[in-house]
Structure 1
Amino acid sequence: MSAGPPQQPFHGLIVEVQQESSEAKRRQLPRYAASLWLMLDCPVTLLCICPDVTTAAFFAKPIPTDLPGYVAQVVVLGPDDVPAISDAAEVAPHPEVAVLSVLVHQERKVAEAFVRGLQLMPNEYAPQYYEYAYDMASRAARRTLEELMASSTWLVSSPFAREHFGRGKSEGRAEGEAEALLVMLDARGLQVPDSTREVIAGCTDTGMLEKWIRRAAVIDKVEDLFD
Protein backbone atom coordinates (compact mmCIF):
# COMPACT_ATOMS: atom_id res chain seq x y z
CA MET A 1 0.00 0.00 0.00
CA SER A 2 1.07 3.60 -0.40
CA ALA A 3 0.39 7.06 0.97
CA GLY A 4 -0.27 10.05 -1.25
CA PRO A 5 -1.73 10.46 -4.75
CA PRO A 6 -1.74 7.19 -6.76
CA GLN A 7 0.49 8.68 -9.46
CA GLN A 8 2.90 10.35 -7.02
CA PRO A 9 2.99 8.41 -3.72
CA PHE A 10 5.35 9.75 -1.09
CA HIS A 11 5.67 6.58 1.02
CA GLY A 12 5.15 2.85 0.58
CA LEU A 13 4.15 0.42 3.32
CA ILE A 14 4.38 -3.37 3.44
CA VAL A 15 2.43 -4.96 6.30
CA GLU A 16 3.04 -8.58 7.31
CA VAL A 17 1.39 -10.49 10.17
CA GLN A 18 3.94 -13.03 11.38
CA GLN A 19 2.73 -15.85 13.62
CA GLU A 20 6.10 -17.57 14.06
CA SER A 21 9.83 -17.07 13.51
CA SER A 22 10.85 -18.03 9.98
CA GLU A 23 14.30 -17.26 8.61
CA ALA A 24 13.13 -17.90 5.05
CA LYS A 25 10.28 -15.41 5.45
CA ARG A 26 12.55 -12.91 7.18
CA ARG A 27 15.01 -12.95 4.28
CA GLN A 28 12.20 -12.37 1.77
CA LEU A 29 11.16 -9.08 3.38
CA PRO A 30 14.03 -6.99 1.89
CA ARG A 31 13.03 -8.28 -1.56
CA TYR A 32 9.47 -7.07 -1.04
CA ALA A 33 10.74 -3.66 0.08
CA ALA A 34 13.13 -3.35 -2.86
CA SER A 35 10.40 -4.30 -5.35
CA LEU A 36 7.95 -1.76 -3.95
CA TRP A 37 10.68 0.89 -3.89
CA LEU A 38 11.40 0.23 -7.58
CA MET A 39 7.70 0.38 -8.39
CA LEU A 40 6.83 3.53 -6.44
CA ASP A 41 10.20 5.36 -6.38
CA CYS A 42 9.68 6.55 -2.80
CA PRO A 43 10.71 5.46 0.72
CA VAL A 44 9.29 2.11 1.87
CA THR A 45 8.62 0.87 5.41
CA LEU A 46 8.42 -2.80 6.37
CA LEU A 47 5.96 -3.39 9.22
CA CYS A 48 5.58 -6.76 10.95
CA ILE A 49 2.75 -7.40 13.41
CA CYS A 50 3.69 -10.26 15.74
CA PRO A 51 1.43 -11.93 18.35
CA ASP A 52 4.22 -13.01 20.68
CA VAL A 53 7.35 -11.44 22.13
CA THR A 54 9.78 -14.03 20.73
CA THR A 55 8.58 -13.60 17.15
CA ALA A 56 8.62 -9.81 17.53
CA ALA A 57 12.25 -9.87 18.71
CA PHE A 58 13.20 -12.19 15.84
CA PHE A 59 11.85 -9.89 13.12
CA ALA A 60 13.17 -6.75 14.84
CA LYS A 61 16.78 -7.74 14.11
CA PRO A 62 18.47 -6.05 11.11
CA ILE A 63 18.30 -8.21 7.96
CA PRO A 64 21.53 -8.36 5.91
CA THR A 65 21.28 -8.99 2.17
CA ASP A 66 23.56 -10.01 -0.68
CA LEU A 67 23.35 -6.47 -2.05
CA PRO A 68 26.36 -4.57 -0.63
CA GLY A 69 25.28 -1.88 1.81
CA TYR A 70 21.63 -2.91 1.86
CA VAL A 71 20.55 -3.95 5.34
CA ALA A 72 16.79 -3.96 5.91
CA GLN A 73 15.27 -2.87 9.20
CA VAL A 74 11.73 -3.95 10.04
CA VAL A 75 9.37 -1.93 12.22
CA VAL A 76 7.78 -4.44 14.61
CA LEU A 77 4.59 -4.22 16.64
CA GLY A 78 4.32 -6.92 19.29
CA PRO A 79 2.52 -7.47 22.60
CA ASP A 80 4.81 -5.00 24.34
CA ASP A 81 4.02 -2.26 21.82
CA VAL A 82 0.22 -2.48 21.53
CA PRO A 83 -2.18 -2.23 24.50
CA ALA A 84 -4.70 -5.02 25.03
CA ILE A 85 -8.01 -3.17 24.64
CA SER A 86 -10.67 -5.06 26.60
CA ASP A 87 -13.05 -2.12 27.13
CA ALA A 88 -15.58 -1.54 24.33
CA ALA A 89 -15.71 2.16 25.16
CA GLU A 90 -12.04 2.45 24.11
CA VAL A 91 -12.62 0.89 20.69
CA ALA A 92 -14.76 3.59 19.06
CA PRO A 93 -12.35 6.50 19.67
CA HIS A 94 -9.29 4.38 18.78
CA PRO A 95 -10.37 1.85 16.12
CA GLU A 96 -6.93 1.58 14.50
CA VAL A 97 -5.33 0.61 17.81
CA ALA A 98 -8.23 -1.76 18.51
CA VAL A 99 -7.56 -3.61 15.24
CA LEU A 100 -3.89 -4.01 16.15
CA SER A 101 -4.92 -5.17 19.62
CA VAL A 102 -7.01 -7.99 18.10
CA LEU A 103 -4.11 -9.06 15.88
CA VAL A 104 -1.39 -8.93 18.51
CA HIS A 105 -3.06 -10.20 21.66
CA GLN A 106 -5.53 -12.74 20.22
CA GLU A 107 -7.45 -12.96 23.49
CA ARG A 108 -11.20 -13.55 23.53
CA LYS A 109 -11.86 -10.59 25.82
CA VAL A 110 -10.05 -8.33 23.34
CA ALA A 111 -12.13 -9.68 20.42
CA GLU A 112 -15.34 -9.28 22.43
CA ALA A 113 -14.53 -5.67 23.27
CA PHE A 114 -13.65 -5.04 19.62
CA VAL A 115 -16.98 -6.32 18.26
CA ARG A 116 -19.00 -4.50 20.96
CA GLY A 117 -17.04 -1.32 20.39
CA LEU A 118 -17.64 -1.35 16.65
CA GLN A 119 -21.36 -1.17 17.32
CA LEU A 120 -20.75 2.23 18.91
CA MET A 121 -19.21 3.56 15.70
CA PRO A 122 -20.96 4.98 12.59
CA ASN A 123 -22.13 2.17 10.30
CA GLU A 124 -20.16 3.52 7.34
CA TYR A 125 -16.84 2.99 9.16
CA ALA A 126 -17.32 0.03 11.48
CA PRO A 127 -17.55 -2.69 8.77
CA GLN A 128 -14.24 -1.59 7.29
CA TYR A 129 -12.39 -1.93 10.59
CA TYR A 130 -13.96 -5.35 11.12
CA GLU A 131 -12.75 -6.44 7.67
CA TYR A 132 -9.24 -5.11 8.36
CA ALA A 133 -9.03 -7.16 11.54
CA TYR A 134 -10.57 -10.27 10.00
CA ASP A 135 -8.37 -10.23 6.88
CA MET A 136 -5.12 -10.09 8.87
CA ALA A 137 -6.10 -12.20 11.89
CA SER A 138 -4.87 -15.73 12.58
CA ARG A 139 -7.22 -18.64 11.95
CA ALA A 140 -8.01 -18.92 15.66
CA ALA A 141 -8.77 -15.20 15.93
CA ARG A 142 -10.94 -15.38 12.80
CA ARG A 143 -13.01 -18.17 14.31
CA THR A 144 -13.54 -16.09 17.43
CA LEU A 145 -14.60 -13.05 15.38
CA GLU A 146 -16.97 -15.17 13.29
CA GLU A 147 -18.54 -16.65 16.42
CA LEU A 148 -19.03 -13.23 17.97
CA MET A 149 -20.46 -11.77 14.78
CA ALA A 150 -22.87 -14.69 14.38
CA SER A 151 -24.37 -13.97 17.79
CA SER A 152 -24.39 -10.19 17.32
CA THR A 153 -27.43 -8.08 16.41
CA TRP A 154 -25.17 -5.63 14.60
CA LEU A 155 -26.29 -4.87 11.03
CA VAL A 156 -23.23 -6.39 9.39
CA SER A 157 -23.95 -9.73 11.03
CA SER A 158 -27.14 -10.22 9.00
CA PRO A 159 -26.70 -12.76 6.16
CA PHE A 160 -27.63 -10.20 3.48
CA ALA A 161 -25.24 -7.51 4.72
CA ARG A 162 -22.35 -9.90 5.28
CA GLU A 163 -22.77 -11.49 1.85
CA HIS A 164 -23.04 -8.30 -0.15
CA PHE A 165 -20.54 -6.24 1.85
CA GLY A 166 -18.05 -9.08 1.73
CA ARG A 167 -18.56 -9.61 -2.00
CA GLY A 168 -17.95 -5.94 -2.82
CA LYS A 169 -14.94 -5.79 -0.53
CA SER A 170 -13.45 -8.93 -2.08
CA GLU A 171 -14.00 -7.78 -5.66
CA GLY A 172 -12.50 -4.36 -4.97
CA ARG A 173 -9.49 -5.85 -3.23
CA ALA A 174 -8.88 -8.36 -6.05
CA GLU A 175 -9.00 -5.57 -8.63
CA GLY A 176 -6.46 -3.56 -6.65
CA GLU A 177 -4.15 -6.57 -6.21
CA ALA A 178 -4.30 -7.31 -9.95
CA GLU A 179 -3.44 -3.71 -10.81
CA ALA A 180 -0.53 -3.71 -8.34
CA LEU A 181 0.83 -6.93 -9.87
CA LEU A 182 0.75 -5.52 -13.39
CA VAL A 183 2.44 -2.31 -12.25
CA MET A 184 5.18 -4.32 -10.53
CA LEU A 185 5.82 -6.44 -13.63
CA ASP A 186 6.00 -3.31 -15.78
CA ALA A 187 8.32 -1.58 -13.29
CA ARG A 188 10.70 -4.55 -13.42
CA GLY A 189 10.83 -4.29 -17.20
CA LEU A 190 9.20 -7.68 -17.81
CA GLN A 191 7.24 -8.06 -21.04
CA VAL A 192 3.65 -9.06 -20.24
CA PRO A 193 1.64 -10.54 -23.13
CA ASP A 194 -1.98 -9.49 -23.50
CA SER A 195 -3.12 -13.02 -22.68
CA THR A 196 -1.26 -12.89 -19.37
CA ARG A 197 -2.72 -9.48 -18.57
CA GLU A 198 -6.19 -10.90 -19.15
CA VAL A 199 -5.53 -13.80 -16.78
CA ILE A 200 -4.29 -11.44 -14.07
CA ALA A 201 -7.10 -8.91 -14.53
CA GLY A 202 -9.71 -11.65 -14.47
CA CYS A 203 -8.46 -13.34 -11.30
CA THR A 204 -10.73 -12.83 -8.26
CA ASP A 205 -8.72 -15.01 -5.85
CA THR A 206 -6.92 -12.47 -3.66
CA GLY A 207 -4.79 -15.18 -2.07
CA MET A 208 -3.48 -16.27 -5.47
CA LEU A 209 -2.89 -12.67 -6.55
CA GLU A 210 -0.83 -12.06 -3.40
CA LYS A 211 1.29 -15.13 -4.20
CA TRP A 212 1.84 -13.85 -7.74
CA ILE A 213 2.87 -10.42 -6.42
CA ARG A 214 5.49 -11.98 -4.16
CA ARG A 215 6.71 -14.19 -7.00
CA ALA A 216 6.88 -11.19 -9.33
CA ALA A 217 9.55 -9.70 -7.07
CA VAL A 218 12.05 -12.48 -7.84
CA ILE A 219 11.25 -14.00 -11.27
CA ASP A 220 13.33 -13.27 -14.36
CA LYS A 221 10.60 -13.87 -16.94
CA VAL A 222 6.82 -13.61 -16.88
CA GLU A 223 6.42 -17.29 -17.80
CA ASP A 224 7.65 -18.21 -14.30
CA LEU A 225 4.83 -16.25 -12.61
CA PHE A 226 2.34 -19.12 -12.77
CA ASP A 227 4.74 -22.01 -12.01
Structure 2
Amino acid sequence: MPTLEHNALVEMFRDTPELAPHFLATLFHVDVPRHASVAVVESSLDQLIPVEFRADLVLELRDASGALVLAIVIEVQRDEDPDKKFSWPVYVTVVRARKRCGTVVLVVAPGADVAAWAAENIDVGLGFGHIRPLVLGPAVVPEISDPAAAEQETELAVLSAVAHGNGPNGLAVVQAALVALGRLDQEHAAVYFQVIWNGLREPMRQALEALIMERQIEGEATFPPFVQKLIHRGKLEGIREGELNGRRDTLLRLLARAGIALTENESARIQACTEVATLDRWIDNVLGAKTSADVLS
Protein backbone atom coordinates (compact mmCIF):
# COMPACT_ATOMS: atom_id res chain seq x y z
CA MET A 1 0.00 0.00 0.00
CA PRO A 2 1.44 3.43 -0.94
CA THR A 3 2.79 5.47 1.96
CA LEU A 4 3.34 9.20 2.32
CA GLU A 5 7.05 8.62 1.73
CA HIS A 6 6.41 6.55 -1.40
CA ASN A 7 3.98 9.06 -2.89
CA ALA A 8 6.18 12.04 -2.03
CA LEU A 9 9.21 10.54 -3.77
CA VAL A 10 7.14 9.68 -6.85
CA GLU A 11 5.74 13.22 -6.91
CA MET A 12 9.28 14.60 -6.68
CA PHE A 13 10.03 13.17 -10.13
CA ARG A 14 6.56 13.93 -11.47
CA ASP A 15 6.87 17.61 -10.54
CA THR A 16 10.50 17.88 -11.73
CA PRO A 17 11.03 15.16 -14.37
CA GLU A 18 14.37 16.69 -15.38
CA LEU A 19 15.79 15.25 -12.15
CA ALA A 20 15.88 11.71 -13.58
CA PRO A 21 18.25 12.31 -16.53
CA HIS A 22 20.25 14.73 -14.36
CA PHE A 23 20.81 12.01 -11.76
CA LEU A 24 21.65 9.44 -14.45
CA ALA A 25 24.38 11.74 -15.77
CA THR A 26 25.80 13.07 -12.49
CA LEU A 27 25.40 10.14 -10.09
CA PHE A 28 25.62 7.11 -12.39
CA HIS A 29 27.86 8.76 -15.02
CA VAL A 30 25.56 7.51 -17.77
CA ASP A 31 25.92 9.02 -21.23
CA VAL A 32 22.35 10.35 -21.46
CA PRO A 33 21.27 11.09 -25.05
CA ARG A 34 20.99 14.75 -26.01
CA HIS A 35 17.42 15.84 -25.40
CA ALA A 36 15.32 18.97 -25.45
CA SER A 37 12.44 17.87 -23.22
CA VAL A 38 11.46 15.42 -20.49
CA ALA A 39 7.80 14.52 -20.02
CA VAL A 40 5.75 12.31 -17.73
CA VAL A 41 3.79 9.72 -19.72
CA GLU A 42 2.38 7.27 -17.20
CA SER A 43 -0.98 7.35 -19.01
CA SER A 44 0.70 5.80 -22.06
CA LEU A 45 2.22 3.10 -19.88
CA ASP A 46 -1.27 2.11 -18.71
CA GLN A 47 -2.03 1.21 -22.31
CA LEU A 48 1.24 -0.63 -22.84
CA ILE A 49 1.43 -2.81 -19.75
CA PRO A 50 -1.25 -4.87 -17.95
CA VAL A 51 -2.48 -3.51 -14.65
CA GLU A 52 -0.50 -6.02 -12.59
CA PHE A 53 2.71 -4.63 -14.11
CA ARG A 54 2.02 -0.93 -13.63
CA ALA A 55 5.06 1.21 -12.74
CA ASP A 56 5.17 4.28 -10.51
CA LEU A 57 6.19 6.68 -13.27
CA VAL A 58 7.49 6.71 -16.83
CA LEU A 59 9.40 9.59 -18.42
CA GLU A 60 10.15 10.23 -22.09
CA LEU A 61 13.18 12.15 -23.30
CA ARG A 62 12.82 13.71 -26.76
CA ASP A 63 15.34 15.56 -28.87
CA ALA A 64 14.82 18.92 -30.55
CA SER A 65 13.03 17.30 -33.47
CA GLY A 66 10.58 15.51 -31.16
CA ALA A 67 12.10 12.06 -31.63
CA LEU A 68 12.19 9.75 -28.61
CA VAL A 69 15.74 9.15 -27.41
CA LEU A 70 15.21 7.45 -24.02
CA ALA A 71 12.49 6.22 -21.68
CA ILE A 72 13.04 6.10 -17.91
CA VAL A 73 10.82 3.92 -15.72
CA ILE A 74 10.88 5.15 -12.12
CA GLU A 75 10.08 2.87 -9.19
CA VAL A 76 10.15 3.84 -5.49
CA GLN A 77 11.12 0.80 -3.40
CA ARG A 78 11.14 0.90 0.40
CA ASP A 79 10.96 -2.88 0.96
CA GLU A 80 12.19 -5.97 -0.83
CA ASP A 81 9.56 -7.41 -3.14
CA PRO A 82 10.55 -10.55 -5.11
CA ASP A 83 7.84 -9.82 -7.69
CA LYS A 84 9.76 -6.75 -8.82
CA LYS A 85 12.54 -8.93 -10.21
CA PHE A 86 9.95 -10.18 -12.71
CA SER A 87 8.08 -6.92 -13.37
CA TRP A 88 11.10 -4.66 -13.92
CA PRO A 89 12.24 -6.60 -17.01
CA VAL A 90 8.66 -6.31 -18.30
CA TYR A 91 8.85 -2.52 -18.08
CA VAL A 92 12.10 -2.40 -20.01
CA THR A 93 11.19 -4.81 -22.80
CA VAL A 94 7.61 -3.69 -23.38
CA VAL A 95 8.32 0.05 -23.31
CA ARG A 96 11.42 -0.43 -25.47
CA ALA A 97 9.51 -2.52 -28.04
CA ARG A 98 6.55 -0.14 -28.26
CA LYS A 99 8.44 3.15 -28.17
CA ARG A 100 11.45 1.99 -30.19
CA CYS A 101 13.99 3.65 -27.90
CA GLY A 102 16.40 2.72 -25.14
CA THR A 103 14.73 2.13 -21.77
CA VAL A 104 16.11 1.96 -18.23
CA VAL A 105 14.63 1.36 -14.78
CA LEU A 106 15.58 3.89 -12.10
CA VAL A 107 14.80 2.61 -8.59
CA VAL A 108 14.66 5.03 -5.66
CA ALA A 109 15.56 2.95 -2.58
CA PRO A 110 16.52 5.00 0.51
CA GLY A 111 17.39 1.95 2.63
CA ALA A 112 20.85 0.42 2.16
CA ASP A 113 19.68 -3.22 2.29
CA VAL A 114 16.81 -2.66 -0.13
CA ALA A 115 19.08 -0.66 -2.44
CA ALA A 116 21.66 -3.47 -2.55
CA TRP A 117 18.92 -6.00 -3.30
CA ALA A 118 17.39 -3.81 -6.02
CA ALA A 119 20.77 -3.25 -7.70
CA GLU A 120 21.33 -6.96 -8.35
CA ASN A 121 21.42 -8.01 -12.01
CA ILE A 122 18.22 -9.76 -13.06
CA ASP A 123 18.92 -12.87 -15.12
CA VAL A 124 16.15 -13.24 -17.69
CA GLY A 125 17.08 -16.80 -18.58
CA LEU A 126 20.01 -19.21 -18.35
CA GLY A 127 22.51 -16.38 -18.11
CA PHE A 128 21.98 -15.28 -21.71
CA GLY A 129 20.66 -11.84 -20.83
CA HIS A 130 20.02 -9.62 -17.87
CA ILE A 131 18.41 -6.37 -16.78
CA ARG A 132 20.36 -4.06 -14.50
CA PRO A 133 18.28 -1.50 -12.58
CA LEU A 134 19.94 1.79 -11.70
CA VAL A 135 19.38 2.36 -7.99
CA LEU A 136 19.34 5.68 -6.13
CA GLY A 137 20.38 4.49 -2.70
CA PRO A 138 22.89 5.36 0.03
CA ALA A 139 25.80 4.01 -2.02
CA VAL A 140 25.04 6.43 -4.88
CA VAL A 141 23.36 9.43 -3.24
CA PRO A 142 26.09 11.66 -1.75
CA GLU A 143 26.08 13.04 1.78
CA ILE A 144 25.25 16.72 1.30
CA SER A 145 26.14 18.61 4.46
CA ASP A 146 26.91 22.01 2.91
CA PRO A 147 23.76 24.20 3.02
CA ALA A 148 24.88 26.11 -0.10
CA ALA A 149 25.23 22.86 -2.06
CA ALA A 150 21.87 21.67 -0.69
CA GLU A 151 20.15 24.84 -1.92
CA GLN A 152 21.54 24.26 -5.41
CA GLU A 153 20.22 20.67 -5.50
CA THR A 154 17.31 20.68 -3.06
CA GLU A 155 15.71 17.41 -4.19
CA LEU A 156 19.05 15.62 -4.05
CA ALA A 157 19.56 17.09 -0.57
CA VAL A 158 16.21 15.61 0.48
CA LEU A 159 17.23 12.21 -0.88
CA SER A 160 20.56 12.59 0.93
CA ALA A 161 18.80 13.28 4.25
CA VAL A 162 16.53 10.27 3.76
CA ALA A 163 19.46 8.00 2.84
CA HIS A 164 22.05 9.28 5.34
CA GLY A 165 20.02 10.99 8.06
CA ASN A 166 20.78 8.29 10.62
CA GLY A 167 24.47 7.99 9.78
CA PRO A 168 27.53 9.45 11.51
CA ASN A 169 27.08 12.78 9.69
CA GLY A 170 23.30 12.58 9.78
CA LEU A 171 22.65 15.75 11.75
CA ALA A 172 24.69 17.90 9.35
CA VAL A 173 23.05 16.25 6.32
CA VAL A 174 19.54 16.76 7.69
CA GLN A 175 20.33 20.32 8.74
CA ALA A 176 21.52 21.20 5.23
CA ALA A 177 18.38 19.69 3.69
CA LEU A 178 16.08 21.60 6.04
CA VAL A 179 17.81 24.88 5.25
CA ALA A 180 17.38 24.14 1.53
CA LEU A 181 13.65 23.54 1.98
CA GLY A 182 13.30 27.28 2.53
CA ARG A 183 13.56 27.85 -1.23
CA LEU A 184 10.48 25.69 -1.94
CA ASP A 185 6.82 26.57 -1.55
CA GLN A 186 5.53 25.62 1.88
CA GLU A 187 3.36 22.74 0.65
CA HIS A 188 6.25 20.87 -0.97
CA ALA A 189 8.64 21.81 1.81
CA ALA A 190 6.29 20.48 4.49
CA VAL A 191 5.85 17.15 2.69
CA TYR A 192 9.61 16.72 2.22
CA PHE A 193 10.16 17.60 5.87
CA GLN A 194 7.74 14.87 6.91
CA VAL A 195 9.50 12.36 4.64
CA ILE A 196 12.85 13.23 6.23
CA TRP A 197 11.43 13.23 9.77
CA ASN A 198 9.64 9.91 9.35
CA GLY A 199 12.91 8.28 8.31
CA LEU A 200 14.85 9.46 11.35
CA ARG A 201 15.38 7.25 14.39
CA GLU A 202 14.61 8.63 17.83
CA PRO A 203 18.20 9.64 18.79
CA MET A 204 18.53 11.71 15.62
CA ARG A 205 15.08 13.24 16.11
CA GLN A 206 16.05 14.33 19.60
CA ALA A 207 19.35 15.75 18.36
CA LEU A 208 17.55 17.70 15.64
CA GLU A 209 14.96 19.05 18.07
CA ALA A 210 17.74 20.17 20.43
CA LEU A 211 19.66 21.86 17.60
CA ILE A 212 16.66 23.81 16.35
CA MET A 213 15.61 24.82 19.85
CA GLU A 214 19.17 26.02 20.49
CA ARG A 215 19.14 28.10 17.31
CA GLN A 216 15.80 29.61 18.32
CA ILE A 217 17.10 30.56 21.76
CA GLU A 218 20.19 32.13 20.20
CA GLY A 219 18.04 33.99 17.68
CA GLU A 220 19.62 32.31 14.64
CA ALA A 221 16.73 31.63 12.25
CA THR A 222 18.58 29.21 9.95
CA PHE A 223 15.60 26.94 9.34
CA PRO A 224 12.33 27.61 7.50
CA PRO A 225 9.72 29.10 9.87
CA PHE A 226 7.34 26.15 9.59
CA VAL A 227 10.10 23.75 10.71
CA GLN A 228 10.92 25.88 13.72
CA LYS A 229 7.23 26.09 14.60
CA LEU A 230 6.74 22.34 14.44
CA ILE A 231 9.83 21.60 16.52
CA HIS A 232 8.93 24.30 19.02
CA ARG A 233 5.66 22.48 19.69
CA GLY A 234 7.83 19.60 20.87
CA LYS A 235 6.35 16.49 19.30
CA LEU A 236 5.49 17.69 15.81
CA GLU A 237 1.73 17.75 16.23
CA GLY A 238 1.31 18.72 12.61
CA ILE A 239 2.81 15.51 11.25
CA ARG A 240 -0.44 13.52 11.38
CA GLU A 241 -2.44 16.24 9.67
CA GLY A 242 0.32 16.57 7.09
CA GLU A 243 0.09 12.85 6.36
CA LEU A 244 -3.67 13.16 5.91
CA ASN A 245 -3.32 16.17 3.63
CA GLY A 246 -0.68 14.36 1.60
CA ARG A 247 -2.97 11.40 1.06
CA ARG A 248 -5.97 13.63 0.24
CA ASP A 249 -3.88 15.49 -2.32
CA THR A 250 -2.64 12.22 -3.87
CA LEU A 251 -6.20 10.90 -4.10
CA LEU A 252 -7.50 14.06 -5.77
CA ARG A 253 -4.63 14.08 -8.26
CA LEU A 254 -5.23 10.45 -9.20
CA LEU A 255 -8.96 11.09 -9.62
CA ALA A 256 -8.26 14.07 -11.87
CA ARG A 257 -5.85 12.08 -14.03
CA ALA A 258 -8.38 9.26 -14.29
CA GLY A 259 -11.06 11.73 -15.42
CA ILE A 260 -13.33 10.84 -12.50
CA ALA A 261 -15.47 13.78 -11.38
CA LEU A 262 -16.60 14.30 -7.78
CA THR A 263 -19.78 15.82 -6.43
CA GLU A 264 -19.56 18.51 -3.76
CA ASN A 265 -20.60 15.97 -1.13
CA GLU A 266 -17.92 13.53 -2.25
CA SER A 267 -15.23 16.24 -2.19
CA ALA A 268 -16.36 17.21 1.30
CA ARG A 269 -16.25 13.56 2.36
CA ILE A 270 -12.62 13.27 1.25
CA GLN A 271 -11.62 16.48 3.03
CA ALA A 272 -13.41 15.38 6.20
CA CYS A 273 -11.80 11.93 6.30
CA THR A 274 -9.34 11.59 9.19
CA GLU A 275 -8.52 7.88 8.79
CA VAL A 276 -5.23 7.13 7.04
CA ALA A 277 -6.32 3.55 6.26
CA THR A 278 -9.51 4.77 4.58
CA LEU A 279 -7.66 7.27 2.41
CA ASP A 280 -5.13 4.59 1.46
CA ARG A 281 -7.98 2.27 0.47
CA TRP A 282 -9.56 4.95 -1.71
CA ILE A 283 -6.20 5.61 -3.36
CA ASP A 284 -5.92 1.91 -4.20
CA ASN A 285 -9.50 1.90 -5.50
CA VAL A 286 -8.71 4.49 -8.20
CA LEU A 287 -6.85 1.79 -10.12
CA GLY A 288 -9.45 0.37 -12.49
CA ALA A 289 -12.30 2.53 -11.19
CA LYS A 290 -14.84 4.02 -13.60
CA THR A 291 -16.87 6.20 -11.23
CA SER A 292 -16.40 8.03 -7.97
CA ALA A 293 -18.67 5.47 -6.30
CA ASP A 294 -16.14 2.76 -7.22
CA VAL A 295 -13.41 4.75 -5.49
CA LEU A 296 -15.24 5.79 -2.33
CA SER A 297 -16.72 2.37 -1.60
TM-score over 0.5 (shorter chain): yes
Q: 1:99, CA displacement in angstroms?
A: 1.2
Q: 1:176, CA displacement in angstroms?
A: 1.9
- In structure 1, what is the equivalent of residue 117 of structure 2? 55
1:179 aligns with 2:252: yes
Q: 1:167, CA displacement in angstroms?
A: 7.5
TM-score normalised to the size of structure 1?
0.56
- In structure 1, what is the equivalent of residue 157 of structure 2? 98
Q: 1:101, CA displacement in angstroms?
A: 1.4
Q: 1:108, CA displacement in angstroms?
A: 2.7
What are the within-5 Å matches in structure 2 for residues 130-169 of structure 1? Answer: 131-135=191-195, 139=199, 141=200, 143=202, 146-151=205-210, 152-153=212-213, 155-156=228-229, 157-159=231-233, 163=237, 169=242
User: Which secondary structure state, in structure 1, belongs to the residue aligned with residue 119 of structure 2?
Assistant: helix
Give deviations 1:16-68, integer Å, cap 9, x for gaps.
542332034677889xxxxxxxxxxxxxx97532122423325x8599xxxxx
Contact 2:161/2:177, CA 8 A, preserved across alignment = no
- In structure 1, what is the equivalent of residue 50 of structure 2? none
**2:273 corresponds to which letter in structure 1?**
C
Distance, in Å, in 2 between the alignment partners of 1:130 and 1:94 is 17
Contact 2:191/2:246, CA 8 A, preserved across alignment = no
Q: 1:146, CA displacement in angstroms?
A: 2.7
Equivalent of 1:78 in 137, 156, 164: 137
Equivalent of 2:272 in 188, 202, 220: 202
Which protein has the larger Cα radius of gyration, Structure 1 or Structure 2? 2
1:221 and 1:160, CA in 2 relative to 1: closer, same or farther beyond 3 A? same
1:11 and 1:136, CA in 2 relative to 1: closer, same or farther beyond 3 A? farther
Give deviations 1:153-193, integer Å, cap 9, x for gaps.
352421189556x5875565344223124325536xxx978
Q: 1:113, CA displacement in angstroms?
A: 1.1
Report the number of matched residues.
197
Give deviations 1:110-138, integer Å, cap 9, x for gaps.
43013332565584649755741532676
1:212 aligns with 2:241: no
**2:108 corresponds to which letter in structure 1?**
I
Percentage identity across aligned positions?
20
Distance, in Å, in 2 between the alignment partners of 1:208 and 1:62 is 39
Distance, in Å, in 1 between the alignment partners of 2:287 and 2:83 is 15
Cα RMSD of the aligned pairs, angstroms, is: 4.9
Contact 1:181/1:212, CA 8 A, preserved across alignment = no
Contact 2:144/2:157, CA 8 A, preserved across alignment = yes
Contact 1:19/1:55, CA 8 A, preserved across alignment = no
1:144 and 1:77, CA in 2 relative to 1: closer, same or farther beyond 3 A? farther
User: Which secondary structure state, in structure 2, belongs to the residue aligned with residue 107 of structure 1?
Assistant: coil
Q: Which runs of 5+ in 1 are unaligned?
A: 31-44, 64-71
Q: Which runs of 5+ in 2 are unaligned?
A: 1-10, 17-37, 42-55, 58-73, 90-103, 125-130, 214-222
Distance, in Å, in 1 between the alignment partners of 2:88 and 2:267 is 26
- In structure 2, what is the equivalent of residue 19 of structure 1? 78
1:212 and 1:84, CA in 2 relative to 1: closer, same or farther beyond 3 A? same
